[in-house]
Structure 1
Amino acid sequence: MAAETDALISQLNITARRVQAYLDVKLKPLNLTVNNYYFILKINQDTPLTQDQLFKRIYLSPSNVTRRLTQLIDLGLVEKQRNPQDGRSWTVTLTVKGKALVPQVEQIIAQVNATAFNDLVTTQQEELITALKLIDHNLA
C-alpha cells in the first residue's frame, strides 16, 4: 500500500497540534498559553530586547508579536519602554513577576519534553532536531 501523499506533513501537523494542546493544559495554572510562554523564555535570555529583535527570533508577524506582548503586559509579566539609545524603537523586559515564572515555565517545558519524547533515545532526539532544522532551512 502506498503512503498518503501528505503523510509527512499531515503527521507533523497532527503531532504539533497535540503537543501544543498538551502544553496549553500544563501552562494554564501560570495563566500562560502555548502562544505566549515562549516570549517569557526569549525575553529572559537577552534583556533588554528590542521589539524588532523579538520579531526576528520568534518568526511571527509584528502584529502577532505586539498582540501577545500586550497580553503579557496586561498580566504584569512584561514591560515595554522606549529604547533609550533610539527613541523610535521599544525594548521589552520581564517584570519581577515575569522573571519569577521562568523556572516554572522551564520545569513545565522539561516535563512536556520528557513525556513527548519519552520513547526516543538522546541520539534520536538530536536527529529529530537536525531533521526539523533542515526542513526549516528548506522552506526559508
Structure 2
Amino acid sequence: MPTFMKAIGEIWRCANLYRMKAYEPLNINSFQDTYLLQICKNPGITQDQLSKRIYVHKSNVARQVASLEEKGLVYRLNHQDDKRILQVYPTKKALDLIPLITKMNQQWNQLLMDELSFDDQQKFLEILSFLASKAKETVEHLEEKE
C-alpha cells in the first residue's frame, strides 16, 4: 500500500510556502497563523494548553509566542493563582489580522479543492478528519505513558 504521508508532507510544505509569501505584508510567518487563530479564539490560553491544542512541543510554543509578543500581536500575563503559568492574550493588532488569515486559508483550500466535486470534497474531508482523529488519539496515548 502506498504511503499517504509523502503526499501530506508535500501539501504541507507547499502550503507553508504559499502562506509565507501571503503573510509577508502581515509580518508573520507561516507557523504563526495557527498560534494567532488559537490565541484569538481562546484569550488567556496558557502556553501549555496551546502546546496541547496544536500538537507542538512546549519549547516551540514559547519561542513563537515570544516572537508574536515582540511584534506586538500578543501579550503574556502570569496566572493569578500560579505565577509560574503564563496566559497569552491577543492584542487588537492580532484580532485585526484574523479575517486576513482566515481569507488566505480559505483561498488556499479553494485552490486545492475547486476541481473536485462537492461529494469528493466531502468524502476527502471525512477521511482526513478520521485520520487526524486517529493521529491525535495515538499521540495522546503516547503522552499518557510518559
Query: Structure 2-normalised TM-score?
Result: 0.83
Q: CA deviation at 1:113?
A: 1.6
Matched, 1:127 2:97: no
Counterpart of 1:65 in structure 2 is 61
Are 1:43 and 1:92, in contact at CA under 8 Å, matched by a contact in 2?
yes
Letter of the 2:50 partner, please give it: L
Task: Answer 1 or 2: higher relative contact order, Cα 8 Å, separation at least 6.
Answer: 1
Counterpart of 2:73 in structure 1 is 77
Q: CA deviation at 1:10?
A: 1.8
Separation in 2 of the partners of 1:114 and 1:126? 13
Deviations 1:15-68 (A, max 9, x none): 221122112111111111211111111111111111111111110000011111
Gap regions ≥5 residues in structure 1 = none
Gap regions ≥5 residues in structure 2 = 139-146
Query: Structure 1-normalised TM-score?
Result: 0.86
Partner residue of 1:54 out of 50, 54, 74:
50
Letter of the 2:95 partner, please give it: K
More helix by share: 2
Which stretches of structure 1, 4 residues or more, deviate above 6 A after TM superposition? Answer: none
CA RMSD of aligned residues (A): 1.7
Matched ranges for 1:1-140 at <5 A: 5-6=2-3, 8-139=4-135, 140=138
- Identical columns (%): 26
Separation in 2 of the partners of 1:85 and 1:120? 51
